[in-house]
Each structure stands twice: as C-alpha cells, then as structure tokens.
Amino acid sequence: MLLCLSCITNISAQQATGLKSDSTAQKKWYSRITLGGYGEATASRMFYSNNYKRYTDASLYKDAKGFGKFDLPHVVIYLGYDFGRGWSMGSEIEFEHGGTGSAVEIEEEETGEYESEIERGGEVALEQFWIQKSFSPAINLRVGHMVVPVGGTNAHHTPTEFFTVYRPEGENTIFPCTWHETGAELWGRVGDWRYEAMFIAGLDADRFNNHNWIHDGAGSPYEFKMATAYAGALRIDNYTVKGLRMSVSGYLGNSANNTLNATGKYENLHGTVAIGSFDFHYDDHNIVARGYCDYGHLSNSLEITDANKSTRKDSPSPKNNIAEAALAMGIEAGYDLFALSPSLHNTAQRLYIFGRYDYYDSMYKTVSSMTDEQQWGRQKITIGINYYPIKQVVVKGEWSNRIFKKQFNNEPTISLGIGYYGLFNL
C-alpha cells in the first residue's frame, strides 16, 4: 500500500507508535518492511554569466549569453523495518547531483582557480540511520543519524512539498539542507501538537563562509564527525486550524572548538550559533500556501574569520568573511486551476499556478570592522506551474529572477523539473 506522508522521517502509523506489538509479531517478515524515497530531475537555462568575477566586475558581464545545465539534485532511497514491540529502524541513502566523490569547481572567493571540492565527504551520503523505541504516540525515542528539523525546508524537503523546481533558495543557502546529524531525539504528538527535541554534535566553524553562512558546517569532510561541542534543536508543530500547520523551531550550539585543530586562535572561542525559525503550511479551499522566516546569530564571528583565514592553504576552510547574523524569509502560494472544472477536480490530478518571493542575506549583519559584501543580500521572484498527474508525482516549470542591489546584474532563469515521493509497505 502506498503511504503519502508529510515528511519522509515519519515512516508509518505502526512504526511511529510501536503499539501493535502482538499483531506485528504475527506478520510475515516482508510485511514489516517499508521501501520508498524521493527524487528530482531538472533542466535550467540561466540568462547571466557564470564567470567567477561577475560580482566583483559586474559591468563586464552585463550582456553575457548565459548557460544551461541538467541536474539530478537529490535522489534518495529509503528502507525501514518494524521489528515489533515498539522497535523500528529507518535509513536513507542520498545521491546528490547523480554522482559520487569530489567535484571540481571554480572558486568565486579566490582567483578563479579550479579546485577539487569535497562536500560532506562526497556526493553519496547516508542521510539517515536510526533505531527507534516507541512507548506511545506522545513519546518516541530515536537514536542515530537524523534530519535536523530546523526551518521549513529541512522538515519538509521532498519535491512534492514545495512549488519551485529547486528547494527554497533562502533556507537552502544559509542552512545545511538537508541538515542531518548524529545524536538522540525525543518526539511525539499529543492532540493538535507535535514536538521534536534533539541532542546532536555541534557545527564546524572552520567551514563557515560569506555566501552561505553556516551551510557547510554540518557533516564532515573527514572520516568522522567532530563532537567536541554539542548542540540542541527543537521543533513544535500545531495543527489546530483545519488545513493549517504552524511551526516554530530553533537551534543552539557552539562551533569554534568543534574544528579538527581546535587550538591556537580557536581555543578560547565559543562561536555560538543560535537560530530561530517560524514556518507554516496551508492546504484548503484549492489553495496551497507556505512560508518561513529564519534568523541566525553567530558569536565571535570576527575572531572565527581571522582564525579561518590563518589556516593552512590545504585545509577545507573557505577562508573568507563570516557574518554575525543571517536572515532568510520566503512565501509561496498556488491555486489549483483544475478546481474550476468539476470533472478534473474529482480526479487525483492537480494543476497549480503559483508565485513565490524570497529574501535572504548570508551577511545580514556584520561587525563594524568587517566589510559588508552586498552581493550576498538577494531577492528572488518566481512564477510557475506544478502539474500532479497523481499525488506522488509532480512536473514543474518556472521563470525566476534573482535580484541584487543595483551595482550587480540580476540573474533570470527558466527551469523545468520532475519529481516524486512515496513510501511503500510490502
């Protein structure tokens, strides 16, 4: 049976509660297995230059011909198993951009040289692996490697949970996305309220940077994850209003002493990362609307910047300025045009026309002695369509324009995509 859930981390009703231990024990082994996953394929045409100097010498690239790309941003395979008596497991393997190993990139922050980049130890990642004990719907204990549900996109990141071809750009820029860490989680639901509370390893400050703030501080380029510093994350969802989910989430943890060589300039720094977020989802009356607002603060940003710039040339640190605060907000809304036709509306098909607005700045606030690099304050306007031939498959098309301050060139793009999401009990 196909289970269409709001988030791939919530496996099935039986695995979530673990209360049907007697009936589960009598099931055949294969009926306890859950298979599934999600994926997306995209094609884009960018009507702007991809030269690494397009922000430092913007006037030279005003009339650039642009470029195109095909991509497989995320393909995820999920496997879960219900052991019975409240015990279950879940795992996800994620393939990013259709490949494995390192990637060669042109470094915009340096001199345009080609460098081999390692992102989270490679482009095939174990996004989740956890063991869960369920005591009741209100109390579930999960230990292992899990998604950190801070912000709307991390908690709801499958292709059927946002209108745009690519993940919402603001949160996907300033936060790790999908953010996954090893630790322990307590979660549950009581009436119209759902909560998640996590204890996890802290972020790694030596990979923070100017254009996407703390994004690269999760995971690890090494064979292990540094856990000298610890962090906590919390998310609370409310479903009181019909068709509406409202959520708050947050994160708090140190990062400066969580580097591989936390001595010298890092030794006495905290580098505390504090994040507060609000997001919502509305689905009723043939309208779907979503939005979020995130604010993050980093202590000792100047000292961490100086420490990162002094690391060895072959270290994974980008060695550039890091802001004291970052901000991201976005909202999208779509209307199902098939609602205008009773015959189409009574089928599983949906055709949404949507609009979206994002504002995000990875250098929203800097200390007085640090240069505010204004190219990282960005807006984005998107309009497009989503066609659902069935509930689990979506075909997307959009036009978008990334808008900068007047000294920089805007970045219009046309994109197409197709995605799916589903879980299956055998």
Strand positions, DSSP E, 29-160: 33-46, 67-84, 87-96, 103-106, 114-117, 124-136, 139-147
8 A C-beta contact, residue 62 and residue 404: no
* Per-residue pLDDT, 42: 98
pLDDT tens for 56-80 read 888 889 888 899 999 999 999 999 9
Q: Which residues contact 208 (CB under 8 A, 6 or more apart)?
A: 214, 216, 217, 255, 298, 304, 308, 318, 322
8 A C-beta contact, residue 418 and residue 396: yes
Phi (first) and psi of residue 188, to 5 degrees: 180, 180
Q: Is the pLDDT of residue 272 over 50?
A: yes
Amino acid letter for position 377: G
In angstroms, rounded to a whole number, what is the distance separating the alpha carbons of residues 19 and 26?
A: 14
Greater pLDDT, 2 or 400:
400
In angstroms, rounded to a whole number, what is the distance separating the alpha carbons of residues 287 and 88?
A: 36
CATH architecture of 2-425: Beta Barrel (2.40)
User: Which residues in 177-192 are b (16+ Cβ under 10 Å) and which e?
Assistant: bbbbbebebebbbeee
8 A C-beta contact, residue 178 and residue 147: yes
Query: Could you give the 3-state DSSP secondary structure of residue 28?
Result: coil
Q: Which residues pair with 276 in a beta bridge?
A: 250, 295
* Per-residue pLDDT, 106: 57
8 A C-beta contact, residue 255 and residue 204: yes
The pLDDT of 188-204, averaged and rounded, is: 97
8 A C-beta contact, residue 401 and residue 381: yes
User: The tokens of 192 are what?
Assistant: 């119209």
pLDDT tens for 113-128 read 656 655 543 478 889 9
Q: pTM for the full model?
A: 0.87
Q: Is the pLDDT of residue 239 over 80?
A: yes
* Per-residue pLDDT, 109: 54
The pLDDT of 249-265, averaged and rounded, is: 83
pLDDT tens for 357-397 read 999 999 999 999 998 899 999 999 999 999 999 999 999 99
Q: Is the pLDDT of residue 207 over 80?
A: yes
pLDDT tens for 154-194 read 999 999 999 999 999 999 999 999 999 999 999 999 999 99
In angstroms, rounded to a whole number, what is the distance separating the alpha carbons of residues 120 and 206?
A: 14
**Annotated domain spans of the chain:** 2-425
Phi (first) and psi of residue 311, to 5 degrees: -75, 165
The pLDDT of 298-317, averaged and rounded, is: 87
- Rounded (to 5) percent helix, strand, coil in the chain: 15, 50, 35
Across all residues in the chain, what is the average pLDDT? 88
* Per-residue pLDDT, 227: 87
Phi (first) and psi of residue 287, to 5 degrees: -115, 135
8 A C-beta contact, residue 39 and residue 422: no
Looking only at the bridges linking them, the beta strands covering 103-106 and 87-96 are unpaired
Rg (CA), the chain: 22
* Per-residue pLDDT, 112: 56
